[in-house]
Chains A and B, each alone.
Chain A
Amino acid sequence: MGPDTLEHKTVGLFVTCLVDMFRPRVAFATVKLLEDAGCSVEVPEKQTCCGQPAYNSGDLGDTRALARQTIEAFEEFDYVVTPSGSCAGTLHKYPSLFDDDPDWRRRAEALVSRTYEIHAFLVDILGVASVTAEFKHRVTYHDSCSGLRQLGLQHQPRTLLATVDGLELAEMADTEVCCGFGGTFCVKYPEISERMVTDKVGNIVRSGADAVLAGDLGCLMNIAGRLRRLSHPVKAYHTVEVLAGMADAPAIGEEEAER
Chain B
Amino acid sequence: MKSTAHRFKAQAREALHDDTLQQALGHAKSGFVDKRAAAVAELPDFERLRDRGQLIKDHALRNLDYYIAQFADNVEAQGGTVHWTSTPEEARETILGLCRDAGARQVIKAKTMAGEEIGINETLEREMETVESDLGEYIIQLAKEPPSHIIAPAVHKTRAEITRLFDEHHHHVDGGRLREAPELVAEARQVLREKFLDADVGISGANFLVAETGSVVLVTNEGNADLSTNLPPTHIVIAGVEKIVPGLRDASSMLRLLARSATGQDMTAYTTFLTGARRAEDLDGPENYHVVLIDNGRTRMLGNEFREMLRCIRCGACLNHCPVYSAIGGHAYGWVYPGPMGSVLTPMFIGLDGARDLPNACTLNGRCGSVCPVKIPLPDLLRRLRDYQFEQHLTTRTTRMGLRVWGWVSRHPRLYHLGTRLATAMLRFAGRGSASRLPLAGGWTAARDLPLPTGSTFQQQWKARGKERRP
Contacts and interface: CB of A to CB of B under 8 A. Distances in A.
A57 B221 CA distance: 41
Contacts of B256: none
B453 interface: yes
Nearest to A20: B458
B443 A225 contact: no
Contacts, number: 209
Interface stretch (B90-98, B148-156, B431-439): B431-439
A237 B457 CA distance: 18
A186 B362 CA distance: 10
A145 B363 contact: yes
A59 interface: yes
B212 to A, nearest CB: 37
Contacts of B406: 53-54
A15 B453 CA distance: 15
Interface string A229-254: 10000000000000000000110111
Nearest to B421: A21
B13 A191 contact: yes
Contacts of A186: 443-444
Most buried by A among B406, B432, B455, B459: B459
Contact of B367 (A47, A60, A178, A180): A178
Contact of B436 (A17, A57, A229, A252): A229
A145 B321 CA distance: 13
Nearest to A253: B451
Q: Is the interface of B mostly helix, strand, loop or mixed?
A: helix
A48 B13 CA distance: 36
B459 A57 contact: no
A50 B401 CA distance: 19
A58 B387 contact: yes
B327 A192 contact: yes
B433 A253 contact: yes
B448 A22 contact: no
A51 B403 CA distance: 10
Interface stretch (B54-62, B195-203, B388-396): B388-396
Contact of A145 (B366, B434, B446): B366
Interface in B351-372: 360-367, 369-370
A38 interface: no
A149 interface: yes
A197 interface: yes
A181 B444 contact: no
A58 B386 contact: yes
Interface residues of A, number: 73
Interface stretch (A24-32, A104-112, A119-127, A162-170): A24-32
Nearest to A19: B458
Most buried by B among A148, A189, A193: A189
Contacts of B434: 224-225, 228, 253-255
B458 A15 contact: yes
Given A53-B403, A58-B386, A190 B447 contact: yes
B176 interface: no
A182 B364 contact: yes
A192 B361 contact: yes
B417 interface: yes
B430 to A, nearest CB: 13
B367 A22 contact: no
A43 interface: yes
A213 to B, nearest CB: 15
Contacts of B169: none
A150 interface: yes
B348 interface: no
Interface stretch (A62-70, A153-161, A204-212): A62-70
Given A146-B366, A182-B365, 13 more contacts: A15-B459, A24-B458, A24-B461, A28-B458, A45-B459, A46-B413, A57-B403, A58-B395, A65-B411, A149-B365, A189-B361, A191-B447, A196-B323
16 contacts: A21-B453, A24-B462, A27-B458, A43-B462, A48-B411, A53-B403, A56-B386, A62-B410, A150-B366, A178-B365, A188-B443, A190-B447, A192-B328, A195-B328, A225-B451, A229-B447
Interface of A: 15, 17, 19-25, 27-28, 43, 45-49, 51, 53-62, 65-66, 69, 145-146, 148-150, 176-178, 180-199, 221-222, 224-226, 228-229, 249-250, 252-256
Nearest 7 interchain pairs by C-beta:
A182-B363, A255-B433, A225-B448, A187-B443, A58-B390, A62-B407, A58-B386
